[in-house]
Amino acid sequence: MKKILFLCMGNICRSPAAHCVFQKLVDDAGLGDQFEIESAGTTGFHVSQPPDRRMQSTLRSRGIPVMGRSRKLISSDLDTYDLILAMDNDNLYDARLLSTDPEKKAKVKLFCEFCRQHSETEVPDPYYGGPHGFEKVMDLIEDGCQGLLEALRETKSA
């Protein structure tokens, strides 16, 4: 089983959206038993809260079920998960600070490395923006999640 953790700052917009999108892709592909998918935030500002209502609305408008509650990233996550995908460089940096082990640090990567249709290197935080920001984030997340699933399938078949 491959364990994937999506990571942003508060775990109420970007990372739970990636969790929901990737879970749907995996389930639609009949691969639900091959993955454990979760999300977390580098801060504990929103612990136990559901995804932001604007992100929930954006997810639902695209036919993606909403799931999860915010939690804070902990150092043992670097042991538990095979891959931790940070939405931006700040969260990548903060996650890598949790360990001095180079192997564990290497598990933390930027989410946009898996985007195929977009050239952005980070997923912007839509929290303080309008609805268009949530749509842009979802475009990036759907692209990156599709690329991630393709990459993991290629790795498995190689």
Q: Give the tens place of pLDDT for each residue, 7-49.
A: 999 999 999 999 999 999 999 999 999 999 999 999 989 999 9
Question: Rounded distance, CA 117 to CA 98, Å?
Answer: 32
* pLDDT reading at 6 higher than 80: yes
Crossing angle (nearest 10°) for helices 131-157 and 53-61 = 60
* pLDDT reading at 53 higher than 80: yes
The pLDDT value given to residue 128: 86
Determine whether 13 is an active site residue.
Answer: no
The pLDDT value given to residue 129: 81
39: alpha, beta or left, given left = phi > 0 and alpha = psi -120 to 50? beta
Band of residue 158 on the pLDDT scale cut at 50, 70, 90? low
What are the backbone angles phi and psi of residue 151, rounded to the nearest 5°? -65, -40
End-to-end Cα spacing for the chain? 16
The residue from 88, 125, 143, 145 that is catalytic is: 125
Determine whether 54 is an active site residue.
Answer: no
* pLDDT reading at 156 higher than 90: no
Residue identified by tokens 């939690």 is 71
Over residues 91-106, the mean pLDDT reads 97
The residue from 13, 14, 77, 88 that is catalytic is: 14
Determine whether 145 is an active site residue.
Answer: no
* pLDDT reading at 130 higher than 90: no
This prediction's pTM:
0.96
